[in-house]
Amino acid sequence: MNPRPTEPRGTARLAAAALFACTTLALANLPAADFPVGWLLALVLPGAVLGRLPPATSPWRRTLLTMLLQTVALWLALEFAGTLSRPAALACTILPPLAFVTARQQESDGALGLFLSFCVLLVGVILDGVHLPLVFAYGLMACLTLRTTAHLAACRVSRAPHRLVARAHTGPVLASALALALPCLLAAFAVERTIGLLPTPSRSGTSGGSAPADDRGRRRVGLDDSFVLDGGRGALADLHGEQLVRVRTTTGRAVPGDLYLRSGFFAAAGLDRWQIGQLDQSVAPHAESHVLRRPLPDAPVQWLEVERFAGARNFVFAPPGATEIRGLDDLVADDLREWLRQPDRSRLDDYAIGFQRLPAPPADLPLDPRARRLGLLSLPAGLDRAPFEALLDAWHVGTAPQEAIEAIAAGLAHHCRYDRVEPQGPHAHALENFLFADGDRRGYCMHFASAAALMLRLRGIACRIGVGLYGGDADRSEPGARLFGSQHAHAWVEIPFAGRGFVVFDPTPPQERGRRMPSRLDDSGRLDTDPAIAAAGARSPWQALLDFVLQPWLLLVALLLAIGSTLWPTGPARRATAVTPPVARSARRTLARLLRALSAAGHARRAGDTLEMFQRELAAAGRLPPEVRRAFEVYQEVRFGGRPFDQARADELQHGVFTAERMRPAGAEPQPDRTAGQT
Does the global pTM surpass 0.85? no
**Residue whose C-alpha is closest to residue 670's, from 614, 605, 602:** 602
Return the pLDDT at 163.
47
Range 547-575 average pLDDT:
61
Mean pLDDT of 12-36: 82
Q: Quick one: pLDDT band at residue 665, thresholds 50, 70, 90?
A: low
What residues contact residue 415 under an 8 Å CB cut-off, 6+ apart?
391, 435, 441
| pLDDT higher at 597 or 388 | 388
Using pLDDT thresholds of 50, 70 and 90, give the confidence band for residue 180.
Answer: low
* Residue 170 confidence (pLDDT): 55
Provide the pLDDT for residue 7. 61
Other C-beta atoms within 10 Å of 668: how many?
Answer: 11
The sign one gets for the Cα dihedral 276, 279, 284, 288 is: negative
Distances (CA, A) of 556 to 138, 197, 261, 335: 21, 14, 34, 46
The CA-atom distances, in angstroms, between 550 and each of 188, 190, 243, 545 are: 11, 7, 18, 9
- The answer to whether residues 478 and 544 touch, using CB atoms and an 8 Å cutoff, is no
Report the phi/psi class of residue 252: left, alpha or beta, with left for phi > 0 and alpha for psi in -120 to 50: left
pLDDT of residue 28: 87
Please state, in angstroms and rounded to a whole number, the distance separating the CA atoms of residues 338 and 317: 11
AA identity, residue 672: P
The H-or-E segment that residue 465 falls in is strand 464-470
For residues 440 and 307, the model is more confident at: 307
Residue 303: predicted pLDDT = 94
pLDDT band for position 573 (cuts 50, 70, 90) = low
pLDDT of residue 210: 33
**So what's the pLDDT on residue 229?**
38
Q: What distance in Å separates the CA atoms of residue 255 and residue 103, rounded to the nearest whole number?
A: 50
Is a pLDDT exceeding 60 seen at residue 577? no
- The 10s digit of each residue's pLDDT in 506-531 is 998 887 776 655 554 444 334 343 33
Q: What is the mean pLDDT of residues 236-253?
A: 76
pLDDT at residue 660 tops 90: no
236 pLDDT more than 70? no
The predicted structure's pLDDT at residue 534:
38
pLDDT value, residue 215: 38
Q: Report the range of poorest mean pLDDT among 52-61, 257-266, 324-333, 492-501.
A: 52-61
**Distance, CA of 62 to CA of 100 (rounded, Å):** 13
pLDDT of residue 514: 64
| Whole-number percent of the chain with pLDDT over 70 | 69
- How does DSSP assign 275-315, residue by residue? B------EEPPSSSEEE-SPPPTTS--EEEEEEE-GGGTTB
Mean pLDDT in residue range 489-513: 88
Q: In the predicted model, what is the mean pLDDT of residues 644-673?
A: 73
Measured over the CA atoms of residue 482, residue 488, residue 492 and residue 496, the dihedral's sign is positive
The count of other CB atoms within 10 Å of the CB of residue 479 is 11
pLDDT at 568: 62
Residue range 426-435: average pLDDT? Answer: 87
What average pLDDT does this structure show over 294-312? 86
Q: How many CB atoms lie within 10 A of CB 230?
A: 26
Note the residue count of the chain. 679
What's CA 372's distance to the chain center, in Å? 47
Q: How confident is the model at residue 555 (pLDDT cuts 50, 70, 90)?
A: low
Distance CA 100, CA 113 (A): 9
pLDDT tens by residue, 33-91:
667 788 888 888 888 888 877 766 677 777 777 788 878 888 887 777 666 666 677 77
- 276 pLDDT tier (thresholds 50, 70, 90): confident
What is the rounded average pLDDT of the residues 144-164?
68
Q: What pLDDT is recorded for position 342? A: 84
The rounded distance, in Å, linking the Cα atoms of 623 and 663 is 8
| Average pLDDT score over the chain | 75
Cα distance between residue 182 and residue 214, in whole Å = 47
Confidence of residue 563 (pLDDT cuts 50, 70, 90): low
Higher pLDDT residue, 65 or 194? 65
